Amino acid sequence: MTRLRFALLNAAHDGANTRRNFRRELDVDLVEFDAVDGDLPDHTEFDGVVVTGSRSSVYWDEAWIPPLVDYVAEAAEAGCPVLGVCYGHQVLAEALGGRVAGMDGFEIGYNEIRRVRDDPLFEGIDESFTAFTTHGDAVVELPPSATLLAENDRGVHAFRDGHCWGVQFHPEYDVETAREVTDGKREQIGDARVDGVLESITPAAYDAACEAKALFENFTAYAARLAGERSERAAADD
């Protein structure tokens, strides 16, 4: 089978860490597009779409955000597999009719998340698992046709709607990214809390969080199955 092609919609502004992390975790031909610059490809040319994290909020009045939300809605409607991570998870929720709002406080660090039901995206991941989280917004209303997949005491951490999945946590983060992102939150959450989170970013915590990286392989396997089914239908029509 031809190697899969995914579109990476990078919403991270200065996304060097984002680029490195997703290229490491996704074993596909990954073509990057600058979502902040309005660079949105024809989704029909790809086997899947991945939307990254961002410093922005989906409800901010920024010119690039509504076209991104509309694009994701169109890709989802067309049956293209979509994976949204953190901000991408929130974009997906908004695109499909859910709602995102600011949280009371900020969740950051390695935290425990609970799966509430089985799903192919979480195959091989324990019912309770560790992942790095960093967000001040959350999905407060799921899309009407979405299914909750994972949560913790701070809210929704994963949902599915058809061929689309959103995850609030960051399975792609390495230790370098976790430390850099945390250190950049000093003005937002204060030195004492930042220093405490930095102390918790240990090799053991990272190793525990690596379990959640299986979702990238699972998403890719799902996209490959759909691509194979499309190829079979096309061959049958010839």
Q: 89, 135, 157, 170: which one is catalytic?
A: 170
Rounded-to-integer distance, Cα 8 and Cα 95, Å: 17
Alpha carbon distance 219, 183 (integer Å): 31
Q: Which of 25, 32, 86, 94 is catalytic?
A: 86
Which tokens is 88 given? 């991408």
Cross-strand partners of 151: 114, 156
Torsion angle in degrees (nearest 10) through CA of 205, 206, 212, 217 = -160
Please indicate whether residue 170 is annotated as part of the active site. Answer: yes
CA-CA distance, 108 to 110, in Å (whole number)? 7
Tokens of 102: 């600011």
The active-site residue out of 25, 32, 107, 172 is 172
- d(CA 52, CA 35) in angstroms, rounded, equals 9
Query: Is 172 a catalytic site residue?
Result: yes
Closest to 12 (Cα-Cα) out of 51, 46, 61: 51
- Rounded CA separation 191/236 (Å): 62
Active-site positions read 86, 170, 172
